[in-house]
């Protein structure tokens, strides 16, 4: 798949749609949040990690790779993002990835970062969904990018894909986006702090030969 602007996240589309959502669905979505937190003067809903499967929580794991320390590697099949650390370890984050027809693979770099970014749906997305607004200001509870966005460029050209937060914590661990990599908002904040401009990113179908097996997940060390 080529590098296109359609990779902008579609998460949060339901917030702007005209189709009514049934109350049980809203209740289920609300259960993924617990309380509020403040970040750079903006209040947002905290993720209810008690409801989140432990495998999707941020943690340090064994990881074997020839990539340099500091590289971000995404395993789309297993819905994990790894930030390679020293001593054959990585910080592993659960993520949501592109749904069928919106998946992509390849290398890029984080060449732009934004704190509480503004979201502007690309023209092709607005053609498919004319009910979308022209833009949503950063910090809005309806902004699908959440508190952080890391913009992926390739050879200086914007790919249209981002690493960012989400309005839908329940979508982590699923094929749910239009190609962007979704993270829990708290994890997006954490990764943003760890990745300087120029960070290399590699998105792959899977990396089962480099990360620990499923049987070893329970031995991973949580990151507070």
Question: pTM for this structure?
Answer: 0.80
pLDDT of residue 127: 84
Burial class (CB in 10 A: 0-12, 13-18, 19+), 65: middle
Domain with 183, as residue range(s), is: 5-23+54-211
Min mean pLDDT across 83-92, 179-188, 199-208, 213-222 is at 213-222
Which residue in 78, 79, 129, 164 is the catalytic one? 164
Lowest pLDDT segment from 9-23, 43-57, 96-110, 171-185: 9-23
Residue 147 has pLDDT above 60, yes or no: yes
Six token digits for residue 200: 């290399």
Q: Which residues contact 170 (CB under 8 A, 6 or more apart)?
A: 28, 29, 32
In this model, does residue 21 exceed pLDDT 80? no
The pLDDT of residue 49: 96
Long-range CB contacts (within 8 A, 24+) of 81-88: 81/163, 81/181, 81/183, 81/191, 82/207, 82/211, 83/191, 83/194, 83/195, 85/60, 88/62, 88/63, 88/64
Residue 43 lies in a domain: no
For 65-92, what is each residue's pLDDT tens digit? 889 999 999 999 999 999 999 999 999 9
pLDDT for residue 101: 63
- Those residues whose C-beta lies under 8 Å from the C-beta of residue 140, and which sit 6 or more positions away, are none
Share of the chain above pLDDT 90, in %: 62
How many CB atoms are located within 10 Å of the residue 59 CB? Answer: 18
Catalytic site residue 195? no
pLDDT at 18: 27
DSSP label at 186?
Answer: H
Tell me the mean pLDDT in the region 17-36: 59
Domains in the chain, number:
1
Q: Is 70 exposed, middle or buried (0-12, 13-18, 19+ CB in 10 A)?
A: middle
**Does residue 2 register a pLDDT over 50?**
no
* CA dist., res. 32 & res. 19, Å (int): 22
The predicted pLDDT at position 133 comes to 87
Establish whether 180 is a catalytic residue: yes
Residue 185 placed within a domain: yes
| pLDDT class of 132 with cuts at 50, 70, 90 | confident
pLDDT at 1 over 60: no
For residue 38, is it within any domain? no
φ/ψ of 38, rounded to 5, equals -120, 130
The answer to whether residue 221 is domain-embedded is: no
Per-residue pLDDT tens over the stretch 161-184: 999 999 999 999 999 887 799 999
> Which residue has better confidence, 183 or 126?
183
Q: Which one of 78, 79, 129, 180 is the catalytic residue? A: 180
120 pLDDT tier (thresholds 50, 70, 90): confident
| Host H or E run for residue 189 | helix 185-194
CATH number, domain with residue 119:
2.40.440.10
């Amino acid at each position: 798949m080529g590098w296109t602007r359609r990779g902008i996240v579609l998460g949060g589309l339901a917030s702007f749609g005209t189709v009514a959502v049934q109350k049980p669905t809203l209740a289920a979505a609300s259960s993924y949040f617990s309380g509020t937190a403040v970040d750079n003067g903006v209040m947002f809903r905290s993720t209810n990690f008690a409801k989140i499967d432990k495998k999707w929580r941020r943690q340090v794991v064994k990881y074997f790779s020839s990539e340099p320390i500091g590289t971000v590697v995404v395993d789309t099949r297993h819905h994990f993002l790894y930030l390679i650390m020293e001593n054959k370890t990585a910080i592993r984050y659960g993520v949501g990835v592109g749904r069928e027809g919106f998946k992509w693979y390849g290398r890029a770099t984080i060449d732009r970062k934004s704190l509480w970014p503004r979201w502007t749906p690309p023209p092709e997305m607005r053609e498919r969904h004319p009910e979308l607004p022209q833009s949503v200001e950063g910090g809005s509870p309806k902004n699908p990018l959440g508190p952080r966005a890391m913009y992926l460029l390739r050879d200086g050209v914007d790919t249209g894909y981002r690493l960012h937060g989400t309005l839908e914590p329940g979508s982590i661990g699923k094929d749910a986006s239009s190609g962007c990599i979704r993270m829990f908002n708290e994890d997006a904040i954490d990764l943003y702090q760890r990745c300087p401009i120029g960070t290399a990113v590699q998105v792959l179908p899977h990396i089962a030969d480099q990360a620990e097996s499923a049987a070893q997940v329970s031995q991973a060390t949580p990151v507070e």
